[in-house]
A and B are shown apart, each in its own frame.
Chain A
Amino acid sequence: GQQLNQSPQSMFIQEGEDVSMNCTSSSIFNTWLWYKQDPGEGPVLLIALYKAGELTSNGRLTAQFGITRKDSFLNISASIPSDVGIYFCAGRNAGNMLTFGGGTRLMVKP
């Protein structure tokens, strides 16, 4: 099925560094969601965005709904070892179905 273009595919960073990842699409979405998946677990919802231009924070996480409605980014500030995991973006269209990005695998070196 259709996937969003999520980048980077993987990141290996030093603890304390900031992280940025993004998703782009050729289609317009009404909602952008960001999930984190730990090994052996299901995805956990981090942030939901419902309005073009919206900027939302959840602790050290900040995400924005692109003004064109075709992109979104997620930033993590001052990364810590427990930030390790796979981050997925997902866009929801008018049909209420989610389309997922390919994921960004984050590795943090203590």
Chain B
Amino acid sequence: SAVISQKPSRDICQRGTSLTIQCQVDSQVTMMFWYRQQPGQSLTLIATANQGSEATYESGFVIDKFPISRPNLTFSTLTVSNMSPEDSSIYLCSVVGNEQFFGPGTRLTVL
């Protein structure tokens, strides 16, 4: 399975600020996704990160709030913009190799 790392692992941020989360994979992958997991909840897909083109967002998520970059096949970033306490969640990077795997997550708390 692919080895996925995320930075930061956790952060506490003030409302109105933005945080960029990095996802690094140890091998080239075609499909890369970003998920959100709100406290006590299941995983919700935010968007598919497309290499060389704009991300594909799911219903309820927009580029202005969650801009995504995918400069190559091993790296992606997700920015959570203009944060509010409702954005407090775990954000997970996920890739498809022989199956779908998840990174360790970034635990975000917004005060």
Known: A1-B59, A45-B99, A48-B99. A100 touches B43 (CB 8 A): yes
Cβ of B100 to closest chain A Cβ, rounded Å: 6
Q: Which of A1-56 contact B (CB under 8 A)?
A: 1, 3, 33, 35, 40-45, 48
Contact partners of B4 in chain A: CB under 8 A: 42
Cβ of A61 to closest chain B Cβ, rounded Å: 15
One of A40, A41, A45, A103 near B100 (C-beta < 8 A): A45
Which residue on B lies nearest to A88, using beta carbons?
A: B42
Cβ of B23 to closest chain A Cβ, rounded Å: 11
Known: A88-B43, A97-B45. A41 touches B105 (CB 8 A): yes
Q: Are A45 and B43 in contact (CB under 8 A)?
A: no
Contact partners of A66 in chain B: CB under 8 A: none
Bound-state CA distance A101–B45 (Å) is 13
Contact partners of A96 in chain B: CB under 8 A: 31, 96
Q: Are A103 and B45 in contact (CB under 8 A)?
A: no
Q: What are 28 residue pairs bridging A and B, where the CB atoms are less than 8 Å apart in the complex?
A: A1-B44, A1-B45, A1-B59, A3-B42, A33-B100, A40-B105, A40-B107, A41-B104, A42-B102, A42-B103, A43-B92, A43-B102, A44-B102, A45-B1, A45-B99, A45-B100, A45-B101, A88-B42, A88-B43, A90-B100, A92-B100, A96-B31, A100-B42, A100-B43, A101-B42, A102-B41, A102-B42, A103-B42
A residues apposed to B, CB below 8 Å: 1, 3, 33, 35, 40-45, 48, 88, 90, 92, 96-98, 100-103
